[in-house]
Amino acid sequence: MNLMTWSDHFVSGIDPVDAQHRALIDMINAAAPHLASGGDDAKREVGPLLDKLINYAATHFKFEETLMQQVHVAPEYFAQHCRTHETFVDEVLLMRQQYESGGNLSGSELLHFLTSWLTFHILSEDKRMARQVLAIQTGRTPDLAYAELDAHEGAPQAVYTAALVDLFSLLTERNRTLTQANEQVRHAKQALETVNSMLEARVEERTHALGAANSALQAEQQALVESIGRLEQAQGQLLQSEKMAAVGQLAAGVAHEINNPIGFVSSNLGSLSTYVAQMFELITAYEQASTALPPAQRTAIEAARKRVEIEYLRQDVPELLTESKEGLARVKRIVNDLRDFSHVDADHWAPGDINQALESSLNVASNELKYKAEVVKQLASLPPIVCIVSQLSQVFLNLLVNAAHAIQGQGEITVRTGTGDDQTVWIEISDTGCGMSEETQKRIFEPFYTTKAVGKGTGLGLSISWEIIKRHQGTIDVKSTLGQGSTFRITLPQEHTQ
């Protein structure tokens, strides 16, 4: 049974107002069973219902007040009606503040307030408002419409009577249910007396059934734990994918912004190299011509040459320009590699160059590697393989960074590639780091497993790498010895079958 039932006595004669009143009653009835329970369910429902009431009040009250202003109801009545709106809003906001501060706001209190206020407001204020609006729309003046208001005592009384009838019906139904329950208890008692005589014989059977049920429950619990683990893994991979997509968008923007100044700086350096060569040619010509000058002038020129160290400049300036050009070329290559590595639009299967993907990953990881290890590259000529290059680049980057982290002090990282006899290619990344125990090697591909300190790693890098290689129908294996280092070997088919 609903907490409040719509009655014809609630009808104001203004359809939008009645529709809004009905919506409020439906809202209260939907929340009433939860709020009346008094438990955690009620606590969870109080906040959302208060938010809905605030939104409702903003819409409903604005509609009523606009409607009254349009027909120019009597000012004193308009002010009185608006005060009832303000009172309701103040009370709801106070309850919201009390709820947010952890105060003792019960669902029953909220229901009591809503039903009391709603009954009063609809039967009293909104009906009075509607009679005035309708009267003014038929030609009466606002003052006359206000003067003709009456109490309409019969309508509220009918609603109160209907409410009492509903309550009586509820109590009658509860009593009938209670009588039936008592009869069921009496029969159950008789049945229990009969069963008690056979209880000992059935204890063993019940115990066996309980054991079976317990085993089934444990199996379900284990399945639930595994499902949660898979869900956490999928969530972690989704977060990682979103992070890589964000890096890709950032890298693309950075590449665009950096490549433009790199272009004109590179062009300027080229022009500057030409100008410097021309200036040195001019200086040489002046030096040759200086022999014809008087001794005092030749002495002054020679002093100036020594002061500016012209011979050193002849050697150093071209070298500085060459190094600057090489530095710009490296910056451009790193930016392009970062953009290609994290490209958000590259998630499609296509022939890819594994060696180039490794080179890009090495460039992206160069800051991690250059202070920890010397990188040795032994890259064989490989055929293009069907793959998602950006995903394999992510795997290579994970392995390279892990190799750098495994090295204490200074070490060596070796990157090798080659082809197999069965239409496969292989990639090996070795380090001279701390190595891993056999127990760690068994678990490194598990989601969230990490040997790094808290806050230093998520334990998802190798798990995601394993998933990517599996998606490429390949394998990833590890060989490691404590204190001697680790080698990860990836084997991939040259063709990918859907």
Structure tokens at 151: 């109490």
* Residues in the chain, pLDDT under 70: 1-3, 36-39, 41-42, 101-107, 109, 150-183, 185-186, 229-230, 232-257, 260, 333-347, 447-461, 498
**Domain extent listing, the chain:** 8-152, 237-341, 350-493
DSSP letter at 379 equals: P
Closest CA to 385 of 353, 344, 356: 353
Give the fold, CATH level 3, of 8-152: Four Helix Bundle (Hemerythrin (Met), subunit A) (1.20.120)
Place of tokens 């000058």: 293
Q: What pLDDT score was predicted for residue 385?
A: 92
**311 is written with which tokens?**
């011979």
Q: What is the pLDDT of residues 264-286, one digit of tens each?
A: 777 778 788 888 888 888 888 88
Q: How many residues does the chain have?
A: 498
- Tell me what pLDDT residue 415 has: 95
- Model pTM above 0.75: no
| Number of other residues whose CB lies within 10 A of the CB of residue 471 | 12
Question: What pLDDT score was predicted for residue 338?
Answer: 60
Which regions of 293-404 does DSSP assign to beta strands (E)?
Answer: 350-352, 373-378, 385-387
For 358, list phi and psi in degrees, rounded to 5. -65, -40
CA distance 70 to 14: 14
Q: Does domain 350-493 have CATH number 3.30.565.10?
A: yes
At 119, which amino acid appears?
T
What are the φ and ψ backbone dihedral angles of 484, each rounded to 5 degrees? Answer: -120, -20
pLDDT at 425: 94
Position 156 scores a pLDDT of 53
Q: Report the SS3 class of residue 495.
A: coil
C-beta neighbour count of 362 within 10 angstroms: 18
Residue showing tokens 């409410």: 163
Model confidence pLDDT, tens digit, residues 119-163: 777 877 888 888 898 989 999 999 888 888 754 444 554 454 344
Task: Using DSSP bridges, classify how beta strands 424-431 and 475-481 pair: parallel, antiparallel or unpaired.
Answer: unpaired
In 3-state terms the chain splits into helix, strand, coil percentages (rounded to 5) of 70, 10, 20
Closest CA to 427 of 493, 333, 471: 493
